[in-house]
Amino acid sequence: MGTAHAARAHIIWTSIALVLILTASCLTYVFMSKVSGCQRIHNLPVSAIESMFRHEVSREKWLLKACNHTDNRLVWDDEWEGHRNRSESILDHDKTWIVIREKGVYLVYIQANFVLKPLKDSDSTVDLKLLVDFKYEEKTEIFSAAHDTQVVNDNTSPDAKLNTFLLMYMNSANQLSVKVSPSDLVNYEPRPFSTFITIIKCADTW
């Protein structure tokens, strides 16, 4: 059972990583934060992207699944926790902040799934929000955000999702946290992953 689970997780992780890498190689620009800990890229040359992936693959690759929330911040579980040493964890003690261990360029993809609850015989709207907080040098700023307004009724799909894709340069000890609203509508049921974050270090520098 454990072998089957590990194999399934490996296949899923590989598929997600390939999608992220292909997406990154097709980007002509990436919107980045204005904070000093990160950089904004415009028209990144293909040669620069290729050079980033020529480096030896880093061990800094993570797949975290949301399992709960506290004060609108998602609480994470490491999908591969059983295959790592406790000292390798990148989660803080509350499992709400992701602490970067090695400086470098990271691909980050976040998806939050929501379960919409229509009111019987009535239309309503719900504002869905996803915010990424970035903590550096004792400062915390909003790094990225996604927003959508859904009309909810009996004909509405029960599922909705928000996602954001980031290419970031981060230093050791920088931290990320994800806030969602309304947090009581977040879907935590695996299919295989409904609300998750993937983090892949792809280079030491730009």
**Residue 11, SS3?**
helix
Please give the Cα distance from 130 to 147 (Å, whole number).
Answer: 6
Predicted TM-score (pTM) of this structure: 0.72
Q: Which of 190, 197, 187 is nearest to 159 (CA)?
A: 187
Domain annotation for the chain: domains and CATH numbers: 2-203 (2.60.120.40)
Range of weakest confidence among 30-34, 43-47, 74-78, 180-184: 30-34
Q: Rounded distance, CA 161 to CA 156, Å?
A: 13
Q: What is the average per-residue pLDDT within 41-68? A: 65
CA distance 103 to 106: 9
Higher pLDDT residue, 113 or 79? Answer: 113
Evaluate whether 101 touches 172 at the Cβ level (below 8 Å): yes
> Tens digit of pLDDT for each residue in 127-161?
999 999 999 988 999 988 899 999 888 777 788 99
Dihedral Cα 26, 31, 32, 33, nearest 10 deg:
-170
Taking alpha carbons only, the member of 197, 176, 168 closest to residue 27 is 168
Please state, rounded to an integer, the average pLDDT across all residues of the chain.
Answer: 77
Handedness of CA 85, 101, 198, 24 (dihedral sign): negative
E strands, 51-123, are 61-70, 73-78, 98-99, 104-115
Of the given ranges (76-90, 100-114, 118-132), which has the lowest mean pLDDT? 76-90
Which CA distances in Å does 135 have to 1, 36, 43, 92?
Answer: 39, 11, 27, 13
Q: Which of 21-35, 92-106, 135-149 has the lowest mean pLDDT?
A: 21-35
* HSE (side-chain half, CA atoms, 13 Å) at 52: 22
